[in-house]
Structure 1
Amino acid sequence: MKMSSLNFNSITEFHDHFSLKVPENPLFSIIHTELEEDEYESCEAYAFDEPVEINCQFYGISLKNIISGELSYGRTKYDCTKGTMLFTAPNQTLIFKDLVFSSESYHIAFHKNYIQSLDIYEKIKTYNFFNYNVNEALHLSPKEEEIVKNIFKSIKAEYYNNHDEFSKEIIISQLETLLKYADRFYKRQFLNRTDNNKILITKFKDILNTYFEQNLFAEEGIPTLDWMATQLNVSHRYMSDTIKAETGKTAVDQINLFLVDEAKSLLLNPNFSISETAYKLGFEYPQYFTRVFKKKVGMSPKEYIKKYSSLN
């Protein structure tokens, strides 16, 4: 059976596809699927009866009770049980096969632009549970699940409250609290568990982050795969094979996705033109940057600025 593929460029598209209410904010939404009057917590609600691949251009945080089925993140199968938290970052792929959820669930979706220029924007990069370097979902104890549900409920209450100048700040504060608890619970769950392949991918991304922070893309150009492999103390072939096996994307794709993610932020900064953004990211020719950006995002840098600058 051929697997269907769903790609969502916006939260609004996601809501439309699943027949959900139009989000209060196009860059942030929270969904709470509640139990019906005659249902109990373990009632089954079949989410997908055929295999499906989902890719979103925004962050997702879900709390679901998974009863049965198979969930893969990148090329790795998640170990899922009841009381499961799932975290996804933009451009990452989830594969659902015969997945059965219980009736009650929570889901938060937020676009990168919603948190841009805030401390959480940089902090979220340090949370490994948004990356492919974990192969288990976060399993919560009853006490932990209650803590998480209460935070979801607080965010939901603020989200549907009359919006004012404090609304976003309060939501961001609660989102930060949710992520800190998740980090605590993950460290409890994964204490002393390591996987060399996933550690390599984390280091690969850390090297790119450091390279960018030191302005080396602009000064030295885009790093070669040989240079990246040397930094990781592995062969070019081993690095490339590991990244491809774990994420389904080549090492070059991962570098380009990193560049595109950084470009999205720079393009919405009025201090950077498209050409300046290209040079800062190591592209010798702005035309080549435009071609890479359009291939990954589906629109040119100019179109991206026009579409999202007013929402930022």
Structure 2
Amino acid sequence: MEEVRKIDTVKQYNDEMGVETEHPLVSIVNFDEIPTYIQFRRYMGLYCIFLKNIKCGDMRYGCQPYDYDEGTLVFIAPGQVYGIDSSGQVIKPSGRALVFHPDMIAGTQLGKSIKDYTFFSYAVNEALHLSKKERAIISDCFDKIESEIHLNLDKHSKTLIVSNIELFLNYCMRFYDRQFITRTHITTDILIRFENLLYDYFRSGKSQALGLPTVSYCAEQLYLSPNYFGDLIKKETGTTALDYIQTKLIEEAKEKIFVPNKSISQIAEELGFKYQQHFTRLFKQKVGVTPIEFRNQN
């Protein structure tokens, strides 16, 4: 098993890359200026954004291959493992990296909202593929941050650097929204597979054995990270993945309610509820009446 190197500071990362550390908490690395390397794996204690200009080995996120190629952005958050599998071949990378320590944004508005940038938790087949215009905007963001790093530190440095990082991330949010739209063939396929997954879950008895289907379970079955899956469903349907699951669950419940001699407690158990009152509460919340009232009305 290949050794996983732990990188907790910006200086450690810069030393690995063979570049000078100009700021203790943030760095821009130009891969065109670093030496060649073979494969590696790293446990990161930093936020990292990689812009890859060329294909340079198979990037791995944890133990899974990452969908990236020329002109893509890859996002890594503290606590994640990434690496390059070069199959023993020497690699000459091209592109840039923005690396910053969590302390860089501590106490700032970005520090409070960093969890809202859910793409830091995206995983397999979920990189951001940039158009030519988008790449130019991202390159400009790199330039602005790098320019601030090169200046002598003063009382404005942190504010300006953090502001430019936030601008960078907001552009990434916009470009991901675009990607959800332009890759509709992929998102539509996932939505269809999601519906089929839920249909099979309720009809095969898994709900009785495993309980209610969760967002994490569905994402795992579709080979997606929970955050990417949730964001994709939200963009495609206008509702959260949990709401979508609950809507399908209520549809199943309505069919079961009209089965002769089937009690409400039986229905709740078949759908995966531990307690009938939880089923009744959700049904009334979604439909406006209790299951018994719905049965009587119809």
- TM-score range with shorter-chain normalisation? 0.5 to 0.7
Question: Does structure 1 residue 71 correspond to structure 2 residue 46?
Answer: no
State the AA in 2 paired with 1:5: V
Q: 2:71 aligns with which of 56, 72, 83?
A: 83
* Root-mean-square deviation over aligned CA pairs: 3.2
Distance 1:240 1:183, change over 3 A: closer
1:62 is the counterpart of 2:50: yes
Shift of 1:127: 1.3
Counterpart of 2:2, as a letter, is M
Give yes or no for the alignment of 1:94 onto 2:82.
yes
Residue matched to 1:42: none
2:22 alignment partner AA:
E
Matches within 5 A, 1:203-282: 233-234=212-213, 239=217, 242=220
**From 97, 102, 111, the counterpart of 1:121:** 111
More deviation in 185-194 or 54-63? 185-194
Is 1:20 aligned with 2:19?
A: yes
Kept after mapping to 2: 8 A contact 1:67/1:102: no
| Pairwise CA distance, 1:246 | 7.1
Corresponding position of 2:292? none
SS of equivalent residue, structure 2 residue 55: strand
2:8 alignment partner AA: N
Q: Counterpart in 1 of 2:9?
A: 10
| TM superposition shift of 1:128 | 1.8
Partner-residue secondary structure (3-state), 1:130: helix
Q: Secondary structure at the match of 2:67?
A: coil
- When the two structures are superposed, what TM-score results if normalisation uses the length of structure 1? 0.56
- Deviation, 1:103, is 5.3
SS of 1:148 mapped into structure 2: helix
* Higher strand proportion: 1
Question: Could you say which residue in structure 1 is the equivalent of 2:200?
Answer: none
Q: 1:134 to 1:172 in 2, by over 3 A?
A: farther
* Structure-2 residue corresponding to 1:182: 172
Shift in CA distance, 19/69, structure 1 to aligned 2, threshold 3 Å: closer
Shift of 1:178: 0.6
In structure 2, relative to structure 1, the CA distance for the partners of 1:140 and 1:127 (3 Å cut) is: same
1:153 matched to 2:143? The reply is yes
Cα distance in structure 1, aligned partners of 2:165 and 2:82: 22
Which stretch shows the higher mean deviation, 156-165 or 26-35? Answer: 26-35
Aligned residue for 1:185, secondary structure, equals: helix
Counterpart residue number, 1:307:
none
Q: CA distance change for structure 1 residues 241 and 190 in 2, over 3 Å: closer, same or farther? A: closer
One-letter identity of the residue aligned with 1:72: R
After TM superposition, the structure 1 = structure 2 runs for residues 185-200 of structure 1, keeping only pairs within 5 Å, are: 185-191=175-181
Deviations 1:193-214 (A, max 9, x none): 5569xx9xxxxxxxxxxxxxxx
What CA distance in whole angstroms lies between the structure 2 residues aligned with 1:62 and 1:20? 16
State the Cα distance separating 1:60 from its structure 2 match.
Answer: 0.5
1:202 aligns with none
Any idea what the Cα deviations from partners look like across 1:216-239, whole Å, max 9, x if unmatched? xxxxxxxxxxxxx97xx437xx85
- 2:38 is matched with 49
| Matched position secondary structure for 1:67 | coil
Gaps of 5+ in 2: 195-209, 226-298
8 Å Cα contact 1:74/1:93 also seen in 2: yes
Pair 27,169 (structure 1): closer, same or farther in 2 beyond 3 Å? same
Say if 1:241 and 1:182 are closer, same or farther in 2 by CA, change over 3 A.
closer
What is the deviation of 1:67? 1.7
Count of residues paired in the alignment: 200
Residue of structure 2 equivalent to 1:163: 153
In structure 2, relative to structure 1, the CA distance for the partners of 1:10 and 1:68 (3 Å cut) is closer
What is the rounded CA distance, in whole Å, between the counterparts of 2:134 and 2:66 in structure 1?
Answer: 20
Amino acid at match of 1:152: F
Partners of 1:74 and 1:132 within 8 A in 2: no
What is the distance in 2 between the residues matched to 1:185 and 1:131?
Answer: 16
Consecutive unaligned residues of structure 1, counting only runs of 5 or more, are 36-44, 200-228, 248-312
CA–CA separation in structure 2 for the residues paired with 1:171 and 1:94: 25
2:29, 2:60 → 1: CA distance? 22
| Deviation sequence 1:10-58 (CA, Å, 0-9, x none) | 111122223221x2222212222457xxxxxxxxx885423x2211101
The higher radius of gyration belongs to: 2
Q: What's the CA shift string for 1:160-209, capped at 9, x where partnerless?
A: 0122111111111111111011111111113355569xx9xxxxxxxxxx
Matched position secondary structure for 1:93: strand
Give the structure-2-normalised TM-score: 0.58
